[in-house]
Structure 1
Amino acid sequence: MIDVQRLAVLREVARLGSFNQAAQVLHCTPSAVSQQVAALERGLGAPAVERSTRGVTLTEAGRLLVEAADAIAAELADTQQRIDRLAAARTALTVATFASAGRRLLPGALAGFLAEHPEVELTVLEDEPEESLPAVRAGRADLALAYHFDGPPPARPGDRSGLDWTPLGTDPLRVVLPRAHPAATGRGPLHLAELAGERWILGCRKSAAQFAGYAALAGVELRVCCTATDYEFAQSLVHAGAGIALIPEIGLTRHPDLVDRPLAEPGPRRHLGLALSRRRRGPSARLAEDLAARLEMTTRR
């Protein structure tokens, strides 16, 4: 039989890619971590990890074990929360969201939701998708408002992610320019060639690779003077004359001295969506589904 405690050790090794780092998190020695993994492998009859000087990687058997460990951890976290709530008068709901969606999309859905459910003990986590989606899988959050760039969504029906993903639409990246800029006039989309030679301020580090590919297809060499992590900061640099910016539509702050215009299709964009755990049950799961439905209505108006 597979030992659950050893599974938990392997899960930390997989997450951190190192026996040493896992040992620090688990408050034991690297030797103890290695022994736990070795004992798990002996009981399994197959190697779970491949060890090298560059770190630790999972074998196919190891990946299956970690998927099982994730599922067990999520179930245990959910069970603990349900037990904790047996004696509580209020139902807890944890929602994870990235900042611009938390500012532009979440409040409209929350207002009616909280008015109808005054008993809810709400916690909102500001997390990017690489943190919020694992939080839903692990049971630390009930719902995540997230996004992804081009390519497949974070979860698909029947996959092993443990998530249900509901698309909410796209969030196109727009060009923000000073109102006095020659390209600020007009209503149609801008072609990137019209902006060749401009200094660019990118409002999100993760969009940099996508925009670089878009520029390469257009035959334009980008001059990036700043890659920010805050959209308001990026737009303030445009207002100061440092360059022009690329900002997702829901991250725009609408300054009277700035203009935003779309890029010609197929332009760079984010794909918005909601993530719910397939494993969650009980009042918090039903509340998360209610809030998710309200968010769908909000974004489709």
Structure 2
Amino acid sequence: MLEVRRLKLLAEFARRGSIAATAEALGYTASAVSQQLAALEREAGVPLLDRTARSAELTDAGRRLAARAEEILGLVEVAEAELSAQAEAPMGRIAVTAFPTAAVAFAPALAHGLADYPGLTFVLRQTRLGDGLSQVRGGEVDIALVDDWTGSLSQQVPASLEVFRLRRDPLVLVVPADHPLSDPERPVDLRALRDEPWMAAPPGEPSRQAVDRLLDEVGGTGPVPWEFEGLHTILSLVARGLGITAVPALALAAADRDVAVRRIPGCTLAREVYAVTRAASVRRPAVAVTLRTLYAAARQTGPILPAT
């Protein structure tokens, strides 16, 4: 009989493409993954991997079984969800991964909202760009908070995942508290700010691409003189009067108060923030209550922006 845990390894190998990447994703050693996949081959009675000295890839039988493994694992999770739905209160471990600004912004509301469930063990992790979907699909976490600047994420995720829109997160202008534009009565004119010392994330980061597009719309500016990894670092430097920036509003949830935030007239640049979970796990009480808490957190979190 095929062992479910080994089927999970095979499905993860199909997604990752190598034994080393599979081991890293699941927290095993490469040797352990290789041994378990070899044991699965013995259970199946046919070769599942075509191994060479340097690599391994799925055989035709391996690809067919990996596809079935996804279905089997989904059915197992549905069965677990149906059983846990009979519980009177959410229990067990719930793991959420989030991009950094969401992790910082939502953590207080999540901690407060889930405190009423003593049987629930909650874990919140930060994830690197683009890893959230693969982690939730692979079962490493139950829910992933992801952002999308393209507006097309909900059409790109596989059918095994369910996407819940939490909020729209617009790009806003942030200046030091003693900057002339800290006066809300003063109109924002980006063209007049082209020669200011702008700060932004490194090229390639989604927020940096949004800033570049924003400035391109007003004729561009000189090279951004300061580039820093992490929006919170950028905001702390703006608070110290070292420059100005534009960031998604959610990044300001835990920002230094010595800044002024202004809407950008005519700016439509924004990202969508989503919670993504496996469709098979939506009925689990622990997942359901965490999603409800995230909805509430998304509506409570963030700065109150001026009207202009």
Q: Report whether the alignment pairs 1:194 with 2:195.
A: no
CA distance in 1, matches of 2:66, 2:188: 47
CA distance in 1, matches of 2:180, 2:75: 57
Shift of residue 121, structure 1, vs aligned partner = 2.0
For 1:38, the equivalent position in structure 2 comes to: none
For 1:246, the equivalent position in structure 2 comes to: 246
- The 1:251–1:182 alpha-carbon spacing in structure 2 relative to 1, beyond 3 Å, is same
Length-normalised TM-score, structure 2: 0.67
CA distance in 1, matches of 2:210, 2:56: 30
CA distance in 2, matches of 1:209, 1:66: 37
Q: Which secondary structure state, in structure 2, belongs to the residue aligned with residue 247 of structure 1?
A: strand
Length-normalised TM-score, structure 1: 0.69
Matches within 5 A, 1:15-164: 15=16, 26-27=30-31, 91-115=92-116, 117-128=117-128, 130-154=130-154, 160-164=158-162
For 2:223, the equivalent position in structure 1 comes to: 223
Q: Which secondary structure state, in structure 2, belongs to the residue aligned with residue 212 of structure 1?
A: helix
- RCO (CA 8 Å, sep 6+): is it higher in 1 or 2? 2
Shift of residue 186, structure 1, vs aligned partner = 2.9
Q: Which secondary structure state, in structure 1, belongs to the residue aligned with residue 124 of structure 2?
A: strand
For 1:166, the equivalent position in structure 2 comes to: 164
Structure 1 counterpart of 2:242, one-letter code: A
Judge which range, 185-194 or 241-250, deviates more.
185-194
For 1:260, the equivalent position in structure 2 comes to: 261
Q: Which secondary structure state, in structure 1, belongs to the residue aligned with residue 250 of structure 2?
A: helix
Provide structure 2 residue ranges, at least 5 long, that are not aligned to the other structure: 38-45, 84-90, 301-308
Matches within 5 A, 1:276-291: 276-280=277-281, 285-291=284-290
Q: Which secondary structure state, in structure 2, belongs to the residue aligned with residue 279 of structure 1?
A: helix
- The 1:298–1:161 alpha-carbon spacing in structure 2 relative to 1, beyond 3 Å, is same
CA distance in 2, matches of 1:71, 1:141: 18
CA distance in 1, matches of 2:143, 2:245: 31
CA distance in 2, matches of 1:63, 1:216: 46
CA distance in 2, matches of 1:91, 1:69: 25
Shift of residue 64, structure 1, vs aligned partner = 8.8
Provide structure 1 residue ranges, at least 5 long, that are not aligned to the other structure: 34-41, 50-54, 83-89
Judge which range, 130-139 or 204-213, deviates more.
204-213
- 1:118-163 CA-to-partner distances (Å, cap 9, x unmatched) read 011222222245222211111111112221112302556xx62521
- 1:215-251 CA-to-partner distances (Å, cap 9, x unmatched) read 2233223531233232332122223443212222122
Judge which range, 287-296 or 244-253, deviates more.
244-253
Shift of residue 210, structure 1, vs aligned partner = 2.6
CA distance in 1, matches of 2:147, 2:137: 16
CA RMSD of aligned residues (A): 4.7
Aligned residues: 279
